[in-house]
Amino acid sequence: MLDSKTIETIKSTVPVLEDKGVEITKRFYKLLFENHPELLNIFNHANQKQGRQQTALANAVYQAAKHIDHLENILPAVKQIAHKHRSLGIKPEQYPIVGENLLLAIQQVVGLQADDPIIQAWAEAYGVIADVFINVEKEMYQAAEEQPGGWKGFRNFVVAKKVKESDVITSFYLQAEDRKPIAAYEPGQYISVKVAIPGAEYTQIRQYSLSDSPNKDYYRMSVKKEVGTEVKPDGIISNYLHDFLNEGDLLPLSAPAGDFTLDTNKDIPVVLIAGGVGLTPMISMLNHLSEQYPHRPVTFIQAAKNSQIHAMREHVVKLTQEKNNVRSFFIYDSPTEEDRKRQLYDKEGHIDLDWLHSVIEDKESDFYFCGPVPFMETVNKALQTWGVKEDNIHFEFFGPAISI
């Protein structure tokens, strides 16, 4: 436990972290990779280049300082991060490495000496926070390994089938190479895949949501091919999977993880709102609800550019026609002439509160949504304006969590 003086010192740094948090974390990652380049095998290089990882860490450090006297307040965030750490294979012995470089980054950015009381207080606080993560992750590692069909670390899977879902999204059906049972998962969870690209110095790990209902003899992930722009680089791994990973190839996976999961203990209606490739966890939830909970009303809303980009449209339409509890609506922001001619969508443009009112009668529903950050900001604001209960609003980030 931290004494009152240490807590007071940590809390005094909150304004500094609010102002210089991202600068500190940028310096931290630079130091970390210079001193320990082997850790480049773990981190998503694209998130580093875009600054998302640095922002997410800055937010986490800020919240830890703000709640240092009541760390239980940030336990949900700790568990969310711990799921990612377990999926990536983060080890207890890596925490001191992180702590050393984080303290050094604080020193350099704020202009402090190693023996400054602030650095000493943060060293003590980091040890306490690291222990919380290590203990939570220890339980997760044990559960992942000991569950039926579970395993430790990464396990080889074979690409049993590769299916093009749209111009930009391809599904991969993955079966265990050893043909032994595989772990179940909750709709909304993800897997980590480890990829060694020929000629690349480091392996890379990416996390992809599972896009089918659980309790099958395969995992399905549906990957969007990320084509770069002026401000965003090509998705190295997504392009490799699309262009070079073929049926019969092997792909190492960690066991399913994640805390963005469907609550099946409720009986209230469910609204699933997907933007782009954010449909992957939504499809998993939709399939599970349609198969196992036919009494529970489900509204599925998919926003896409047009039908060429819209993945799994036919599957959703088929469920809507066959299942009495499923309704679906499609929104295109750039429909083609063929889309207009065939009336393949229900709304042109973007989701807004007025339109949500027109298709959803009961705000006492469970709302789940996933997609690009601006899309999620819009949906979240609409639901809050409508007065949807906070406990009924659930969302998932692809990549490091940031604020919406």
Q: Is 201 helix (H, G, I), strand (E, B) or coil?
A: coil
Annotation-wise, does 277 bind a ligand?
Answer: yes
- Residue 346's Cβ-side half-sphere holds a number of Cα atoms within 13 Å equal to 15
* Beta carbons of 68 and 10 less than 8 angstroms apart: yes
Annotation-wise, does 126 bind a ligand?
Answer: no
- What angle separates helix 75-88 from helix 52-66, to the nearest 10 degrees? 140
Q: How far apart are CA 180 and CA 182, in angstroms?
A: 7
Beta bridge partners of 251: 157
Annotation-wise, does 387 bind a ligand?
Answer: no
Annotation-wise, does 276 bind a ligand?
Answer: yes
Annotation-wise, does 208 bind a ligand?
Answer: yes
Annotation-wise, does 43 bind a ligand?
Answer: no
Annotation-wise, does 190 bind a ligand?
Answer: yes
In 134-249, beta strands by DSSP E: 155-164, 169-176, 190-195, 204-209, 219-224
- The number of residues in the chain equals 404
Annotation-wise, does 261 bind a ligand?
Answer: no
Q: How far apart are CA 313 and CA 311, in angstroms?
A: 6
Annotation-wise, does 400 bind a ligand?
Answer: yes
Residue whose structure tokens are 């749209």 = 166
Q: Which residues contact residue 232 at a Cβ distance below 8 angstroms, ignoring those fewer than 6 apart?
A: 46, 50, 226
293, two tokens: 């909970």
Catalytic residue among 62, 126, 137, 165: 137
Catalytic residue among 95, 173, 219, 240: 95
Q: How far apart are CA 54 and CA 46, in angstroms?
A: 12
Q: Does 139 participate in catalysis according to the annotation?
A: no
Annotation-wise, does 253 bind a ligand?
Answer: no
378, two tokens: 């819009």
Q: Which residues contact residue 59 at a Cβ distance below 8 angstroms, ignoring those fewer than 6 apart?
A: 21, 401, 402, 403
The alpha helices in 196-268, defined as continuous H runs, are: 236-244
What is the side-by-side order of every strand in the sheet holding 219-224?
A: 204-209, 190-195, 250-253, 155-164, 169-176, 219-224
Q: How far apart are CA 7 and CA 394, in angstroms?
A: 32
Annotation-wise, does 280 bind a ligand?
Answer: yes
- What angle separates helix 117-146 from helix 95-110, to the nearest 10 degrees? 150
What is the side-by-side order of every strand in the sheet holding 347-348?
A: 347-348, 326-332, 298-304, 270-275, 366-370, 393-396
Q: Does 95 participate in catalysis according to the annotation?
A: yes
Q: How far is CA 267 from the centre of its chain?
A: 26
Give residue 89's identity as a one-letter amino acid code. G
Annotation-wise, does 4 bind a ligand?
Answer: no
Q: How far apart are CA 212 and CA 236, in angstroms?
A: 24
Q: Which residues carry a binding-site annotation for NADP(+)? A: 276-281
Annotated binding site: 85, 190, 206-209, 276-281, 397-400
Catalytic machinery residues: 95, 137
Annotated binding site for heme b: 85
Residues of the binding site for FAD: 190, 206-209, 397-400
